[in-house]
Amino acid sequence: MEAPMIDLTADRGPSVTRLSIAMMVIVIVAIILRFWSRAVAVNSPGGEKNHFWWDDWLALIAVPFAIAELSLALVWVQYDGLGKHVEAITTPQLLAGLKFLFVGQIVQNCALVAARLSVLFFYLRVSAGAHNMLMLNSVTFAMVISILYFVTFVLMAIFSCTPVQKSWLPYLPGHCLTLSTWWFWFAMISVLVDLVILVIPMSMLWNLQLKPWKRFGILCIFASGYCVLATAIGRVVSIHLTGDGLELDPTYESIPTLYWFIIEPGLAILSICLPSIFSLLKRGIYHGPKSVFSLKGTASSWTGPRSARSIPQFGSKKNDSSTDSQFERLHDANTDLHNNKDYIAMVGRGSQNGGSINEDTNQFIQVRTEYDVSKTGISTNTSGT
């Protein structure tokens, strides 16, 4: 039986190029919007809790690895025949392409592990102060299995061939594990890891005392991560369907699988940036488009005191050790009013009753109450600056 004829002019490379460029744009825009949203939140009154943290830095770390993977795909298409049948390219192109494949799979997993850890640190951020040991233990467990998966995959990618150089020099004596087989099983494990990460916050979110529409909105944000899970499943199915084609015609038959490899890190980064992007979008809706481009806080973005300890009781002494609020008030209800003017200066920093926001200076209004004592009684005159 004759082998089927191969169309040596067939080229899947342009589709890889378009997809890689699209994912590169998505990744860059998503991380810029995330960090801009965080910068706006930090500079808003009461925004200390929105400070940059490990979830932000890990998201940022994932970006160069994702861009590196996409760049490798673009170069491979442009110069070394990715998307064409192996019979239609030269031997140097094939060997260079195998090097791209060797490096690309490692770089892709660097992006994925950083994105996964970013999600887990985000869980810790939103659950801070809840004293939920189940949540903490679940996140710790997910971090451990994510790191173990990453380390195991990298070691497998490096040492799947003996000697190592046989991965990109197939004519060397030695042996290699079947690429489609170990890729398939690691893709299956990747699906399970993603599933564990996505299940962790659901019970916590369901128990929050929120209005139904807010609960639904938050669940939708977290559920966007299921898109990443879908790409991981797509990768599993694609590897299974391609089978031995990954070894026999890697530059052409691997394209359906490479689509999923290209999409997964970019979609993961987009998913972990969505909460911050939605926060920026909400700011623009409630305070106008100009507020999105301003680092100045808005009055309604101030949600109140950071803690109950930042609100001294009326008549208490100024607490010099507190940096959250500074109050100067009458120390005693029986304080004498001498001469004809005494002043009570109240400067609020962090208290809901301490003052209001001046959007131009981002400072609190100082309230001065002037007492005039005369034989006819006490009169007051309150002014604000």
- Residue 308 has what pLDDT? 36
The DSSP secondary structure of 172-226, one letter per residue, reads SSSEE--HHHHHHHHHHHHHHHHHHHHHHHHHHHHHS---HHHHHHHHHHHHTHH
- Please identify which residue in the block is written with the tokens 């710790």: 140
For residues 227 and 337, membership in a common domain is answered with no
In CATH, what number is assigned to the domain containing residue 112? 1.20.1070
3-class DSSP string for 120-182: HHHHHHHCCCCCCHHHHHHHHHHHHHHHHHHHHHHHHHHHCEECHHHHCCCCCCCEECCHHHH
Whether 8 is covered by a domain: the verdict is no
Q: Are residues 234 and 150 in the same domain?
A: yes
Return the pLDDT at 325. 39
pLDDT at 158: 94
Radius of gyration, alpha carbons of the chain: 30
pLDDT of residue 31: 94
**Structural domain contains residue 100:** yes
The confidence score (pLDDT) of residue 131 equals 65
Strand-pair partners of 84: 11
Tell whether 50 and 192 lie within a shared domain.
yes
Please give the Cα distance from 218 to 33 (Å, whole number): 19
Task: Mark whether 353 and 264 lie in a shared domain.
Answer: no
Q: Give how far Cα 88 sits from Cα of 18, 75, 84, 85, 258, Å.
A: 22, 17, 6, 5, 19
Q: Which residues of 292-310 are buried (b: 16+ CB within 10 A; e: fewer)?
A: beeeebbeebbeebeeeeb
Last residue of a domain, one of 292, 320, 350: 292
Q: What integer pLDDT is reported at residue 221 of this predicted model?
A: 65
Helix ranges, the chain (H) = 13-43, 54-80, 91-126, 133-159, 179-207, 212-223, 225-242, 245-248, 250-253, 255-287, 289-292
CA–CA separation, 31 and 269 (whole Å): 8
pLDDT of residue 148: 96
Cα-based torsion angle of the residue sequence 192, 246, 163, 76 in order, rounded to the nearest 10 degrees: -100
Q: Structure tokens of 194?
A: 């993603």
pLDDT of residue 38: 83
State residue 103's pLDDT score: 94
Closest Cα partner for 117 from 55, 64, 63? Answer: 55
Count: domains in the chain: 2
CA distances from 137 to 16, 112, 140, 223, 352 (A): 40, 22, 5, 21, 35
Q: Which of 240, 266, 292 is the last residue of a domain?
A: 292
Same domain, 275 and 202: yes
* Predicted pLDDT of residue 207: 67
Residues 288 and 310 in one domain: no
- What pTM did the predictor assign? 0.71
Domain that holds residue 169: 13-292
Q: Is 290 exposed, middle or buried (0-12, 13-18, 19+ CB in 10 A)?
A: exposed
Whether 225 is covered by a domain: the verdict is yes
The answer to whether residue 200 is domain-embedded is yes
User: Beta strand pairing status for 367-374 and 363-364?
Assistant: unpaired
My answer on whether 68 and 166 are in the same domain is yes
pLDDT in 10s for each residue of the chain, 385 residues: 455 677 778 889 999 999 999 999 999 999 999 888 888 776 554 445 567 788 889 999 999 999 999 999 999 999 888 999 998 999 999 999 999 999 999 999 999 999 999 989 988 887 776 667 888 888 999 999 999 999 999 999 999 999 999 999 988 999 998 888 888 999 999 999 988 888 887 766 666 666 666 666 666 666 666 778 888 888 889 888 888 788 888 889 889 999 999 999 999 999 888 888 887 888 777 777 777 766 665 544 333 333 333 333 333 444 444 434 333 333 343 444 344 444 333 333 344 444 444 444 344 344 454 555 554 554 555 555 5
Residue 10: predicted pLDDT = 85
